[in-house]
Amino acid sequence: MTIYLSARNISKKYGDAVALKNVNLDLRQGNILALLGPNGAGKTTFIKILATLLIKTSGTVMVLGHDLDKDEYRIRHLFGYVGQDTDRSAYARLTVRENLHFFGTLRGLDRKTIAAQIDQFTEYFDFEKNLDKLFMHLSGGQKQTVVIIRALLHDPPIIYLDEPTKGLDPIISKKIRTFLHSYVKQKGKTLLLTSHILSEVDEMADEVALIHNGSIEVQGSPETLKEAVGASEFIELKREQISPALYAQIMALPTVECTLERDPDWYSFGLSDVFEGTEVIIRLLRESNTRTQFRHHTVSLEDAFIHHVGQLNSKFEK
């Protein structure tokens, strides 16, 4: 797969505070990469450096053969960017159409091309009815839709989206995800996004990079990150009904591979064989006369995030 962007040893300091430490990342054609990490990890800082809005302290970024330090102007035409602050991403007192024409012109597009692009995107997003409204009169989700359209107007090969579906209702959020996924795959684009909604990352991303205290600590497919949790199927029992003796008995079962701290009210036991494991655990509950609620859970990317960040936090506390 063609590499569209490669970032090497990117570091960023705000005064004395280190926000990024030697970050390496490649963006490939046809690929969706999600940058995950706790609040303050450095995701926005990294995306803003790629989007030429922040100056890195050190490192190199090559974008389709151009060096960010030498060819910033060229590179600006190769990406579309949506930042975290939607409200300030367009002119409040211009209509949606005026905003899109303004930003399209800045990108060097002629009126006809802009109008054709607006038609194509607004039809898909069922957005014609909002085109002549002032940007400031739109809802949060409608504004977000406008800034995503704005970022794609000039059909750039690279797209950076910082929390693109934040604040969107589930229907429009799904529509945007589906659109972006097929846009990247069919048109051979590359997309770098951040999101705290891990179910949508799991659905969209080919690859995930977990950033922690300014460094990429874990990288791989969502499946690889989930595998590290230790089991894919869990049985969960209400904690208050499980005696310490029963807990010890369950933990000693050969089918129990790991536990997961994902809900303070429930124990989560990872099973190597979900049918056999459930059967033996229910037998133990019967024998000890324990009446408890139980449920099954399949490992999620959120579990993987909690697992990895927990491990990293304890590594850095030592």
- State the residues that interact with ligand ATP by CB under 6 A: 14, 17, 19, 37, 39-45
Of 44 and 145, CB closest to ligand ATP: 44
33 binds, among ligand ATP, Mg ion, none (CB under 5 to 8 A by kind): none
Listed ranges 35-43, 54-62, 273-281, 297-305: which one lies at the site for Mg ion (CB under 5 A) = 35-43
Q: Which does 45 bind (CB under 5 to 8 A by kind): Mg ion, ligand ATP, none?
A: ligand ATP
Minimum Å distance from CB 58 to ligand ATP?
16
| Pairwise CA distance, residues 25 & 248, whole Å | 44
Q: What does 101 bind: ligand ATP, Mg ion, none (CB cut-off 5 to 8 Å by kind)?
A: none
Q: Which does 39 bind (CB under 5 to 8 A by kind): Mg ion, ligand ATP, none?
A: ligand ATP
- Nearest residue relative to Mg ion (C-beta): 44
> With respect to Mg ion, which residue has the nearer C-beta, 143 or 297?
143
Least distance between Mg ion and beta carbon 152 (Å): 21
Coil, strand, or helix at residue 67? strand
Instruction: Residue 314: name its binding partner from Mg ion, ligand ATP, none (Cβ under 5 to 8 Å by kind).
Output: none
Q: Which of 25, 42, 44, 117 binds Mg ion (CB under 5 A)?
A: 44
Residue 215 sits in the site that holds Mg ion (CB under 5 A): no
Q: Residue-wise over 287-318: b if at least 16 C-beta within 10 A, else e?
A: eeeeeeebeebebbbbbbbbbbbeebeeeeee
- 37, interface contact from Mg ion, ligand ATP, none, CB < 5-8 Å by kind: ligand ATP
The full DSSP string for 216-284 is EEEEE-HHHHHHTTS-SEEEEEEGGG--HHHHHHHHTSTTEEEE----TTEEEEEESSHHHHHHHHHHH
In angstroms, give the least distance from the CB of 292 to ligand ATP: 37
Residue 185 Cα to chain centre, angstroms: 17
Rounded Cα distance between 243 and 257, Å, is 20
- What single letter denotes the amino acid at residue 31? N
Other Cβ atoms closer than 10 A to 241: 14
- Spatial contact of 151 and 145, defined as CB atoms under 8 Å apart: no
- Comparing CA positions, the residue from 243, 211, 192 lying closest to residue 81 is 192
Number of alpha carbons in the 13 Å side-chain half-sphere of residue 311: 12
Residue 14, contacted partner among Mg ion, ligand ATP, none, CB below 5-8 A by kind? ligand ATP
Q: Which stretch binds Mg ion (CB under 5 A): 40-48, 130-138, 254-262, 287-295?
A: 40-48
- 114 close to 73: Cβ distance less than 8 angstroms: no
Nearest to ligand ATP of 162, 202 (CB atom): 162
As a whole number of angstroms, the distance between CA 7 and CA 63 comes to: 9
String marking each residue 98-137 x if it binds Mg ion according to CB under 5 A: ----------------------------------------
Distance of CA 284 to the CA centre of its chain: 41
> Which chain residues interact with Mg ion by CB under 5 A?
43-44
